[in-house]
Amino acid sequence: MSVLVIRPDGRAIGLYTEEFDLARLGEIVIRRASRVEPDDSGRWWADLSPVGGPALGPFARRSQALAAERDWLATHLGAACLPSTGPDHP
């Protein structure tokens, strides 16, 4: 399930999914928060530099990098109510 946090100034923040049509809320701006890509050795990295964050990794699996990315974003972008990742939350 997606979570969208509405800030007091009316702006919303959340991780983009296609579970619902965000355009129905009005004008939207989607900003890349990170990049998850493999290195030359096939290890995965979550690069959070677009939002001033670190590079997380290396990880053996892409799913591990995506989980680390989601956890970091939830903690550091004020969206703490986003579901955490882990064994029950891929």
The 10s digit of each residue's pLDDT in 14-23 is 777 788 788 8
User: What does the pLDDT read at residue 25?
Assistant: 80
Residues 6+ apart with CB under 8 A from 8: none
Confidence of residue 78 (pLDDT cuts 50, 70, 90): low
Q: Domain map of the chain by residue range? A: 4-76
Confidence of residue 3 (pLDDT cuts 50, 70, 90): low
Mean pLDDT rounded to a whole number for the chain = 80
Which of 61, 69, 56 shows the shortest CA–CA distance to 43?
Answer: 61
Residues 6+ apart with CB under 8 A from 61: 44
Contact (CB, 8 A) for 36 and 52:
no
User: What does the pLDDT read at residue 70?
Assistant: 86
Contact (CB, 8 A) for 48 and 72:
yes
pTM of the model: 0.70
